Amino acid sequence: MSGGLTAPKGTFDTLPPDSARFLAVRDTLTTPLRRAGYGYVETPVFEETAVFSRGVGESTDVVTKEMYTFDDRGGRSLTLRPELTAGLMRAFIEHRLYDAALPVKLWTVGSAFRYERPQAGRYRHFTQVDMEALGVDDPALDAEVVALGVQGFRDLGLTDFELLLTSLGDATCRPQYRELLVAFLEKVDLDDETRRRAVINPLRVLDDKRPEVQAQLADAPLMVDHLSDSTRAHYDAVRQHLTDLGVTWTEAPRLVRGLDYYTKTTFEFVHSGLGAQSAIGGGGRYDGLSAALGGPDVSGIGYAVGVDRTLLAVQAEGLDVDTAAGVQAFVVPLGAEAKRLAVRLVGQLRAAGISADTVYGDRGLKGAMKAAERSGASHAVVIGDRDLAEGVGQLQDLRSREKTAVAVADLFDALRRATVGA
């Protein structure tokens, strides 16, 4: 009984057998990163609030409306991480990883928390795979990052996803574009809150999803049309490398990610089967983030992919992601002496790298065999006290139902051979 306690609103539990698909999606998304030499990092799920207010941006909905912020017993303002990049960059600075050979390539996976209105595909607690390549500004590195994200989706078998791509300029061309955009927005009918947001970061207004606002932005100037020569060359090189890597994309000049730190290459992955919450991941270059957090003025690029969202995309396409069976071998003991042998045999199988299980509690043969069927095992061994008296156990193929009497001393080898070939 739960005693009336339930998971908090906007969160959910991932339980077997569905959790096997969750793990399969998570591991498939991270495999390309490991193959590309990215190293795993673990950071706290909460940070000093300044890590996010300075890193993510004061004008974002994430900071102004969605963060879980609290004072700890020492009076320090802490925040559950709403995204993973800022905390990872804090670790990069604190531990002086920039003193090593560059770029520093890192990845992590973990929970993030945002106070949002719960709906399909949008939760208050979610899991992200996050990767970052820090310290080098190279269009080829941008292309590598984007292509690794694409590879993860391809490895899952997804086909109905789309890569949206643009450039958000840099310090050499943003100021002039900002002036153009601010002048345009002054003529637009905006509510007071949106007007205040426009003062802090006018680009954020382009991300407003309200139809009445979007209708007024049809003729707004676009950053991609006002790139400096160097930034344009950077963007052209990124697209050429993506072409060489066999990656296709859709130009998205109005793409504005929900965080303030993006510059130059900016991208998003969307899936046609998810309705309004179509984004399954995204990222970009953030050349000013390290400096904003008190670190050296070094560049970086990365992305985050939602494991939960990607799993929804997998389900939308009807894909059967590869999930390993719970166990390979199952031992059914009938009697006290048989139980001792079963515990020992299961331990030997596990030590040899074979997933194995047995029944616990007092179950008859019928109940025990049902447990063996549910386990996903391909083979079972049934051992009764009468079998032990005869020095044998019954090896059963759970698919063909074929049974073979095997000497007790040979049960381990017989199970190992049977499961390896299953």
* Digit-coded pLDDT (tens) for 99-108: 999 999 999 9
∠ at Cα 251 (85, 143), nearest 5°? 50
Q: How far apart are CA 28 and CA 151, in angstroms?
A: 9
Residue 11 labeled ligand binder: no
> Is 266 marked as binding a ligand?
no
Residue pair 284/301 in contact by the 8 Å Cβ criterion? yes
Residue 421, pLDDT score: 65
* Tens-place pLDDT, residues 268-326: 999 999 987 799 999 999 888 888 889 999 999 999 999 999 999 999 999 988 766 67
| Each residue's pLDDT tens digit, 76-105 | 999 999 999 999 999 999 999 999 999 999
For the entire predicted model, the pTM comes to 0.87
Annotated binding residue 34:
no
Q: How many CB atoms lie within 10 A of CB 219?
A: 7
Which phi and psi angles does 257 have, rounded to 5°?
-65, 160
Backbone angles phi, psi at 130, to 5 degrees: -125, 135
| 344 is annotated as contributing to ligand binding | no
User: Which residues have C-beta within 8 Å of that of residue 163, sequence separation ≥ 6?
Assistant: 146, 150, 247, 248, 249, 250, 267, 268, 269
Residues 125-175: tens digit of each pLDDT: 999 999 999 999 999 999 999 999 999 999 999 999 999 999 999 888 988
Contacts of 154 (CB under 8 A, 6+ apart): none
Strands 104-113 and 39-40: parallel
| Whole-number pLDDT of residue 356 | 94
Which helix (H) or strand (E) covers residue 147, if one does?
Answer: helix 139-156
Q: Is the per-residue pLDDT at 1 higher than 50? A: no
CA–CA distance, 394 with 411 (Å, rounded to integer): 9
Q: In order of start, what are the domains of the chain with their CATH numbers? A: 17-172+228-317 (3.30.930.10), 329-421 (3.40.50.800)
The reply, when asked if residue 30 is annotated as ligand binding, is no
Q: Is 374 annotated as a binding residue?
A: no
> Is 42 known to sit in a ligand binding site?
no
Q: Report the pLDDT averaged over residues 258-264.
A: 70
> Is 90 a known ligand-binding residue?
no
